[in-house]
A and B are shown apart, each in its own frame.
Chain A
């Protein structure tokens, strides 16, 4: 009977010990990750570069509407979709982000651009957007670009 009481007492003192270890470990891991590993985010710059590239291409090239990928030197739609880099070009649209009219959408990779219209603090989990506008031959084009590109860790042999 005495031995059972002793064993029960051991368990009772072991759990607070483990609990403190977990709390301390959690604090150190969190602190270290915040300090070293907050990640390097280039999605905003990436969206801006894509926007600039498309805007420039619209201004400089003729016939870009037929095949924007080849004309503007952008990888094809499927690859862009896989890496979550998207864009949409509208013509004379009031709101390109929500534009549904096929007449006003000149070209799009598809995908949802609603997060580009959110105001205020937007969660880091959303991709980053860039919104631009160019005018060519009296026609106003809006360009929305989005990047949700992520780093991919891969295990490799030694």
Chain B
């Protein structure tokens, strides 16, 4: 093979490598967005925080979290760690992908006890509210 052809070939290979990296990177980005873990963890954290803001001590609420648990399960997240309520920092954290969680704060000064209940027949997040210093039995 003469020198000119070798140069043309190596140039084409470099271009193809760049193109492959480009397509791979974009594909990963779009797939990650389509999977929705980022959007849905944002959505659930805010929705649960909103419910907490509206609640009164003594309320017991059940939220359908089927979609969130499905995404978390597909991403290999332990379902017990999907929803976290931090009564000290007053925030709700939702984790739908490995290595990342989204947290949102609430302003209602109540004590929140959360429990994820699976298969009833949907997965529900049970929230029980009580006054601070008065734990639910």
Residues of chain A at the chain B interface (Cβ within 8 Å)? 6, 10, 17-18, 21, 24-25, 28-29, 32-33, 35-37, 39-40, 42, 45-46, 49-50, 53, 69-70, 73-75, 79-80, 82-83, 85, 149, 151-158
Contacts and interface: CB of A to CB of B under 8 A. Distances in A.
B29 A17 contact: no
Interface in B93-109: 93, 95, 98-109
> How extensive is the interface on chain B, given as a class?
35 or more
B127 interface: no
Given A17-B15, A36-B39, A42-B50, A151 B102 contact: yes
Binding site secondary structure of chain B: helix
Contacts, number: 103
Interface string B2-22: 000001000100010011001
Interface string B105-130: 11111100000000000000000000
Nearest to A49: B53
Given A17-B15, A28-B30, A151-B45, A156 B107 contact: no
A152 B102 contact: yes
A137 B5 CA distance: 94
Most buried by A among B36, B45, B108: B108
A50 B49 CA distance: 13
